[in-house]
Amino acid sequence: MALKVVALAGGVGGARLSFGLSEMLPPEDLTVIVNTGDDFDHLGLRVCPDLDTVVYTLAGVANRRTGWGRERETWSFLETIGALGGPTWFRLGDRDVALHVHRTQRLRDGAPLSEVTRQVCHAMGIRCSVLPMTDDDVRTVVVTDRGEMPFQEYFVRRVCEPAVRGFRFDGIENSRPAPGVLDALLAADLVILCPSNPWVSIDPILAVPGVRSTAGSRTVVAVSPLVGGMAVKGPAAKMAAELSVQPTPQGIAAHYAGLLHGLVYDQADPDAGVALQEDGLRSLRTRTLMRSDRDRRRLAGEVVDFGTTVARVEAA
């Protein structure tokens, strides 16, 4: 039986699990819906960090060491921007900037982001569906103890230094899910919340009007982005502490309360099976770290098997 899967993804963790899923599912059965709240305009170019990490990872050209950008990258562009007195805090490689220039031009010509993404995916040999959460402009604003700031300012320029108080997704109320998003969710046998940052990667997707309620009509499992209370990448653990959320499987489960049927969490975390079951959740404790392609495939397989079981129980 064909199993239709929708993955909600942010950057690195979401991209890696999506890669694993793309290796095991027929392309027509996998849709990856990606956060665009981090998108921003830089040097007059539209940069979509999460979308690009997902696309580069699925295409097999992502830089494995940095978690952003491309492998075999060169840096003449950025070096020259610096020599011209321009900003260099956001690291744009020469190959990477080609995608931003290409996308910016197509957006200016009136193509929606979802259409540009589809064309880029096709050109890069990606066969599953990759959808931005919305074609409308939504911008994640981080509310911190030093004031509010756009996400990239917080994340890259200030290296997640300010303490987080909360988040705002500007433009979200009037945003519409990108074409295909609700259809994919409605047709999904399983919705996977990838091991991405719950607050700034998954929440913006769920906050697009119609997404959370539609996802909520399906079987939903999440993969915790924390490993032994630490984030594999990015500020999730630091944010949890600043927001007084326990950096545990229970903390993640509570964050997604009302939406979730099952949680996959790391073997480095203490067994939370009983506690989660008391909240009505199935769980799977396994190795969630994805260092190699084999890790990605293995975790994807375990998550899908787990999700299928959860779905069967839900249906019964």
Which residues sit at the interface with a second copy, rule CB under 8 A? 43-45, 73-74, 76-81, 83-86, 93-95, 97-99, 101-102, 104-105, 108, 119-120, 123-124
Of residues 56 and 256, the one with the C-beta less far from a second copy:
56
DSSP 8-state code for residue 177: B
Per DSSP (E only), the strands in 105-182 are: 129-132, 139-144, 147-150, 164-170
Q: Which is nearer to a second copy, 127 or 312 (by Cβ)?
A: 127
Contact 31, 187 (CB under 8 A): no
Pull the structure tokens for residue 280.
């009505």
Beta carbons within 10 angstroms of residue 310's beta carbon = 22
Q: CB of 9: closest distance to a second copy in angstroms?
A: 21
Spell 6-27 as b/e; 16+ CB within 10 A means b. Answer: bbbbbbbbbbbbbbbbbebbee
Q: Which residue, 66 or 80, has its beta carbon nearer to a second copy?
A: 80
Nearer to a second copy, 65 or 108 (CB): 108
| CB 142 to a second copy: min, Å | 25
Nearest residue (CB) to a second copy, 41 versus 173: 41
Nearer to a second copy by Cβ, of 113 and 208: the residue is 113
Residue 141 Cα distances to 101, 149, 156, angstroms? 25, 6, 14
- Residue 162 makes CB contacts below 8 A (sequence gap 6+) with 142, 144, 145, 146, 147, 149, 154
Closest of 169, 157, 163, 289 to residue 235, by C-alpha: 163
Min dist CB 106 to a second copy, Å, is: 9
Supply the minimum distance, in Å, between the C-beta of residue 110 and a second copy: 12
**Radius of gyration over every alpha carbon of the chain, rounded to an integer in angstroms:** 19
**Looking up tokens 């956060």, which residue turns up?**
35
CB of 135 to a second copy, least distance (A): 18
Closest separation between CB of residue 115 and a second copy, Å? 13
Minimum CB distance to a second copy, residue 126 (Å): 12
Closer of 78 and 272 to a second copy (Cβ): 78
Q: Is the CB of 76 or the CB of 267 nearer to a second copy?
A: 76
Alpha-carbon distances, residue 124 vs 54, 59, 98 (angstroms): 12, 6, 13
* C-beta of residue 166 within 8 angstroms of C-beta of residue 212: no
- Per the rule left: phi > 0, alpha: psi between -120 and 50, beta: everything else, 191 is beta
Smallest separation, CB 61 to a second copy (Å)? 10
